[in-house]
């Protein structure tokens, strides 16, 4: 039996050798085929991912363009309509320059002493001057979904305001061998991203300085919590925490993108989209302002306390339409004092060599105004340059052209980057403002670096977030992350599929909202009124109407089903978009489509008209909102149609309209149900 076992083992060994040696060439060919298939598979997924990304970004930028157009329309009303006009009165309060915001009287708006903290309050307690322990406790509290009491919110905002008003417009930060600088990009209300950065990198401190590069708020749901955390660390470490303003730190932008809704518009600040009117002091000690206000009375001021405007608070010498756009290259041309001198003086005023406690005490014991001094001459084009800094994007071509995609700012090329860096003896420009799939991206021969810290910006799995660590060698080191745990368990195919479905759903809503315009465009290619057009004409019409710059022929397979000999039945196609309309009693189809198409503009106007931030507007205010929108769109909407709409959405019949319920009631929904539509053919 022993011999039998030996022979069996030998046969098995021989079989193994044969299986290893004989099919080697075949195995190599199989491996090459698998490799080729896998590369094609990954390439197809990457193409789908890029196409999905283009959809999200195009829709985002189209919304920003609408916002700028609406705001320019408001500005036109302010510049050209009489102060008594009803349209102007609706919006005038959002354009008034708040002179008191540079005056110690502003502190009464942060009055917190009359607000009691109840014994049942279980959230964090703050003491002032705030300490690093307070800031760390605040981070932990928000991590556990706790809220900060309104007394502490007001007190924290007041302390931050006192510090921010005397800080310079430009911060200078140095690295040394003992510490690195951490740079974060857009957070956009994504608290979990900020918490993850702190977990991986550590809390801000004198040994771990941070730069937060703007766009802290909007789009996400925790903008206020992010601001309060950043403000608390700024108060503790004023020398080591630096907050740059982004284009979303602007109350006009907040009206559209969520921060106003989140905090009920309680804490507003000057918008960068429209310069405040020039204010000057006459011989009688009165303030002369170019700002037209309903209140004709002037405000006397102490003649010894004359105002100085900061670089980001330039005034206009004329109408907004008389100001010509300037490129970034001319930023320093008209500054009457050098940046270095202003920076040095502002840092001295801020007392940044002192501890915050000493600084706070010195401010409390001083009646001086940090803005006192000679009035600087300022120009509207300088204000436009600030808008350019906040809204602009790099482009691969040389030159500097208006950013028609976003509707504000400009596109600048590698030649502009080289000139700016050479002129100021700089080696690298780090900016934010654009979402990048990997959280960061180099361009312009690696001289411009975009950093974006809000992961899952468009959809779960759509992009990574990143932050930068930079030491004395000034070489950026990147740390990437995904804040949502669900994305870590997804395969590449699942992640791409999920974001693709979300992007296509948003695009279908956009198509449905422009239904009438699209059908009119389709009919231009259908002179015989057959209801059929070619797929090439379909793609041309889509771009002509929507102007999203998307590869419609590539998207055809995702948006168009079966065709008849290459011809598309466009009425049937609309019925198959899988968009379920809300159930309303409104019979005016034109008004309903206008609502769908311009719902973001409507919500913005609602937020403006709702001056008491109650979330409710009267029937008359609702009518004025639609009249304002119809003026902007240059379309006629009858009072009867508006009244019918108001009655149909007054759900509890109390004579007022809840803004949130109104927007939700008319939201388009993507689903499996098809909305039946009567085919005119």
Concatenating the DSSP letter of every residue in 55-73 gives HHHHHHHHHHHHHHHHHHH
Q: Which residues of 619-681 form beta strands (DSSP E)?
A: 656-658, 669-670
Q: Is the pLDDT of residue 141 over 50?
A: yes
Report, as an integer, the average pLDDT of 530-553. Answer: 93
Check residue 337 and give its pLDDT. Answer: 46
Check residue 530 and give its pLDDT. Answer: 93
The residues, any chain, with a CB within 8 Å of residue 159's CB and separated by 6 or more, are 128, 129, 130, 235, 360
Euclidean distance between CA atoms 106 and 158, whole angstroms = 9
- Spacing of C-alpha 264 from chain mean position: 18
Q: Could you count the other beta carbons within 10 Å of the beta carbon of residue 260?
A: 25
Check residue 614 and give its pLDDT. Answer: 75
Q: 160 versus 27: which is more confidently predicted?
A: 160
Which region among 60-74, 377-391, 515-529, 555-569 has the lowest average model confidence (pLDDT)? 377-391
Name 466's bridge partners. 480
3-state secondary structure of 75: helix
Euclidean distance between CA atoms 153 and 47, whole angstroms = 47
Q: Write a three-state SS string for 544-604.
A: HHHCCCCCHHHHHHHHCCCCECCEEEHHHHHHCCCEECCCCCCCCHHHHHHHHHCHHHHHH
The fraction of the chain above a pLDDT of 90, given in percent, is: 32
On whether the CB atoms of residues 493 and 48 are closer than 8 A, the answer is no
Q: Is the pLDDT of residue 444 over 90?
A: yes
pLDDT band at 491 (very low <50, low <70, confident <90, very high): confident
Q: 575 versus 22: which is more confidently predicted?
A: 575
Closest CA to 270 of 101, 73, 76, 72: 101
Region of residue 346 (left: phi > 0; alpha: psi -120 to 50; beta: else): alpha
Q: Write a three-state SS string for 469-526.
A: EECCCCCEEEEEECCCHHHHCCCHHHHHHHHHHHHHHHHHHHHHHCHHHHHHHHHHCC
Check residue 681 and give its pLDDT. Answer: 37
Phi–psi pair at 94, nearest 5 degrees: -85, -10
pLDDT tens figures, 105-134: 566 666 788 888 888 999 999 999 999 999
pLDDT tens figures, 332-371: 443 334 445 554 555 555 555 555 555 555 555 544 444 4
Check residue 348 and give its pLDDT. Answer: 55
Closest CA to 220 of 53, 485, 458: 458
The two tokens of residue 547 are 């102007």
Q: Is the pLDDT of residue 330 over 60?
A: no
Euclidean distance between CA atoms 514 and 511, whole angstroms = 5
Closest CA to 356 of 130, 157, 107: 130
Residue showing tokens 């900060």? 148
Count of H-run helices and E-run strands, the chain: 24, 19
Query: Where is mean pLDDT largest: 292-296, 485-489, 528-532?
Result: 528-532
Q: Which residues of 253-389 form beta strands (DSSP E)?
A: 279-281, 287-289
Check residue 380 and give its pLDDT. Answer: 63
Q: Is the pLDDT of residue 396 over 80?
A: yes
Euclidean distance between CA atoms 657 and 646, whole angstroms = 8
On whether the CB atoms of residues 437 and 466 are closer than 8 A, the answer is no
**Catalytic residue (one of 248, 313, 433, 537):** 248
Cis ω for the linkage preceding 129 (within 30 of 0): yes
Q: 8 versus 512: which is more confidently predicted?
A: 512
- Spacing of C-alpha 402 from chain mean position: 19
Q: Which residues of 52-197 form beta strands (DSSP E)?
A: 181-184
Report, as an integer, the average pLDDT of 589-605. Answer: 73
pLDDT tens figures, 239-249: 999 999 999 98
> Is 177 one of the catalytic residues?
no
Euclidean distance between CA atoms 591 and 251, whole angstroms = 29
pLDDT band at 593 (very low <50, low <70, confident <90, very high): confident
The residues, any chain, with a CB within 8 Å of residue 548's CB and separated by 6 or more, are 55, 58, 59, 62, 510
Query: Where is mean pLDDT largest: 274-288, 308-322, 463-477, 548-562?
Result: 463-477
């Amino acid at each position: 039996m022993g011999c039998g076992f030996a022979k069996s083992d030998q046969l098995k060994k021989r079989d193994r050798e044969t299986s290893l040696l004989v099919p080697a060439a075949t195995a190599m060919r199989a491996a090459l085929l698998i490799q080729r298939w896998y590369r094609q598979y990954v390439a197809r997924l990457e193409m789908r991912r890029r196409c999905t990304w283009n959809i999200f970004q195009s829709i985002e930028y189209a919304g920003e363009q609408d916002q700028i157009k609406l705001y320019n329309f408001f500005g036109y009303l302010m510049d050209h309509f009489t102060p008594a006009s009803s349209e102007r009165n609706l919006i005038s309060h959002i354009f008034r320059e708040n002179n008191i915001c540079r005056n110690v009287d502003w502190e009464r708006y942060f009055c917190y002493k009359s607000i009691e903290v109840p014994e049942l309050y279980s959230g964090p307690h703050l003491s002032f001057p705030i300490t690093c322990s307070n800031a760390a406790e605040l981070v932990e509290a928000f991590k556990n979904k706790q809220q900060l009491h309104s007394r502490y919110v007001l007190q924290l905002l007041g302390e931050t305001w006192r510090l921010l008003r005397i800080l310079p417009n430009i911060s200078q930060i140095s690295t040394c061998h003992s510490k690195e600088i951490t740079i974060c990009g857009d957070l956009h209300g994504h608290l979990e991203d900020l918490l993850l950065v702190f977990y991986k990198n550590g809390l801000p401190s004198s040994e771990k300085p941070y730069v937060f590069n703007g766009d802290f708020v909007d789009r996400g749901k925790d903008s206020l919590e992010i601001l309060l955390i950043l403000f608390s660390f700024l108060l503790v470490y004023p020398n080591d925490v630096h907050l740059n303003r982004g284009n979303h730190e602007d109350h006009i932008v907040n009206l559209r993108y969520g921060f106003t809704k989140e905090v009920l518009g309680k804490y507003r600040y000057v918008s960068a989209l429209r310069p405040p009117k020039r204010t000057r002091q006459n011989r009688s000690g009165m303030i002369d302002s170019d700002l037209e206000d309903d209140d004709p009375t002037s405000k006397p001021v102490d003649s010894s306390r004359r105002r100085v405007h900061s670089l980001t608070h330039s005034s206009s010498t004329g109408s907004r339409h008389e100001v010509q756009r300037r490129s970034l290259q001319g930023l320093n041309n008209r500054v009457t004092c050098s940046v270095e001198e202003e920076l040095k003086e502002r840092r001295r005023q801020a007392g940044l060599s002192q501890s915050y406690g000493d600084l706070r005490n010195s401010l409390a014991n001083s009646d001086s105004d940090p803005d006192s001094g000679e009035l600087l001459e300022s120009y509207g084009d300088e204000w436009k340059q600030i808008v350019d800094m906040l809204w602009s994007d790099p482009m691969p071509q040389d030159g500097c052209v208006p950013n028609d995609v976003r509707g504000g700012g400009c596109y600048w090329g590698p030649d502009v980057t080289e000139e700016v860096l050479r002129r100021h003896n700089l080696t690298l420009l780090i900016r934010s403002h654009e979402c990048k799939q990997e959280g960061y991206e180099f361009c312009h021969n690696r001289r411009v670096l975009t950093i974006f810290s809000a992961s899952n910006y468009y959809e779960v799995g759509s992009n990574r977030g990143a932050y930068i660590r930079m030491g004395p060698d000034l070489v950026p080191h990147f740390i990437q992350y995904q804040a949502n745990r669900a994305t870590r368990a997804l395969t590449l195919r699942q992640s791409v599929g999920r974001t693709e479905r979300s992007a296509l759903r948003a695009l279908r809503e956009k198509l449905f909202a422009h239904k009438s315009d699209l059908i009119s465009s389709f009919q231009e290619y259908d002179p015989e009124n057959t209801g059929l057009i070619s797929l090439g004409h379909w793609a041309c019409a889509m771009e002509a109407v929507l102007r999203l710059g998307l590869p419609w022929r590539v998207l055809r397979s995702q948006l168009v089903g079966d065709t008849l000999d290459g011809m598309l039945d466009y009425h049937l196609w609309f019925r198959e978009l899988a968009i379920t309309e809300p159930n309303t009693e409104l019979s005016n189809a034109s008004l309903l489509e206008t609502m769908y198409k311009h719902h973001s503009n409507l919500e913005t106007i609602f937020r403006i008209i709702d001056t008491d931030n109650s979330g409710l507007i009267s029937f008359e205010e609702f009518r004025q909102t639609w009249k304002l929108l119809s003026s902007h769109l240059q379309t006629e909407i009858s009072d009867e149609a508006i009244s019918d709409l108001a009655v149909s959405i007054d759900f509890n019949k109390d004579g007022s309209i809840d803004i949130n319920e109104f927007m939700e009631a008319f939201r388009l929904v993507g689903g499996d149900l098809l909305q039946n539509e009567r085919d005119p053919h």
